[in-house]
Structure 1
Amino acid sequence: MILSRLLASLLLVAAPAAYALDFKSVGSATVILYDTPSTRGTRMYVAPRGMPLQIVSTYGEWVKVRDMNGELAWTETKGLSARRNVVVRTPGARVHAGPDDASQVLMTADKGVVLELVDPAAITWVRVRHRDGILGFVRSNDVWGL
């Protein structure tokens, strides 16, 4: 009895760590973010093409999303793409040729720059591609959208 309660408690504690966050990116056109799941709701702001958004919940053809600043809003599912992007959150984030600080710096990205996520399974360093074609690695804590 005590062992089964202990095991159940451990599973509850471990469950959130095993849950993977769901991210999508704004598709080929900008999308409007609303305060409710309806075009009759108040328009909060326009999300630019490629912006990563965390999917919080789904309601029919609408999704509740969280942006890099933690703001919650609703948008239509059809405006989002499965393509994964990240956005730089650290000013002057360095994109390296390899997954370590000693490798050549290929570029420096300002806060807010959107990068395509090439390898979503990486942990400490993530492989990214800039729209200019530069392919490299950035520290995962320098970007948002993972």
Structure 2
Amino acid sequence: MTISRFIASAVLLLSSAQLHAFEFKTVAPNVAILYDAPSTKGGKLFVAPRGMPVQVVLTYGDWVKVRDATGDLAWLEQRSLSARRNVVVRTPNAKVRAAADDAAPLLMTADKGVVLELLDPQPASWIRVRHRDGITGYIKMVDAWGI
């Protein structure tokens, strides 16, 4: 009976974890140093530019463990993050269109690694974004990371 109870608890825990949406934030307002441990005494791994989207994996006091678009994990101070949402283009020559349709007029082509502001955080097959130059349009969700 104990083993079956353990297995049932594990299945319930795993299934409930999948129901939670990923939490994404943005490095702001300045650059942030990413560390290998939740302390300024930890090894410095990387300097994250302002506006870089990150996925929050774990919060530990004033520190947050995050994942970047390449899948790397690191720690940074929670005060270095903003609730503002950005995405990063993950495919070369991603098309930003005037409407959420492949036939809509092309507004711009974004190179891989370009950061775009996420205007509508509701995931769908297309997401509404804005380039820092002010161009606002739609990009396919599969072409962006940070949703």
TM-score w.r.t. structure 2 length?
0.90
Residue of structure 2 equivalent to 1:27: 28
> Number of paired residues?
140
Residue of structure 1 equivalent to 2:50: 49
Q: Structure 2: how far apart are the matches of 1:51 and 1:126? A: 18
CA deviations on 1:33-74 (whole Å, 9 max, x unpaired) are 000000010000000000000000011000000000000000
Shift in Å at residue 11 of structure 1?
6.0
The reply to whether residue 36 of structure 1 matches residue 33 of structure 2 is no
- Identical-residue share of aligned pairs (%): 61
Q: Structure 1: how far apart are the matches of 2:129 and 2:17? A: 27
- What is the DSSP-based 3-state SS (H/G/I as helix, E as strand, rest coil) of the residue aligned with 2:109? strand
AA partner of residue 72 (structure 1): L
Unaligned runs of 5+ in 1: none
- What is the DSSP-based 3-state SS (H/G/I as helix, E as strand, rest coil) of the residue aligned with 1:141? helix
Shift in Å at residue 15 of structure 1?
3.0
The reply to whether residue 99 of structure 1 matches residue 95 of structure 2 is no
Q: Structure 1: how far apart are the matches of 2:103 and 2:13? A: 40
Unaligned runs of 5+ in 2: none
Shift in Å at residue 123 of structure 1?
1.2
Query: 4+ residue stretches of structure 1 with deviation over 2 A?
Result: 8-18
TM-score w.r.t. structure 1 length?
0.90
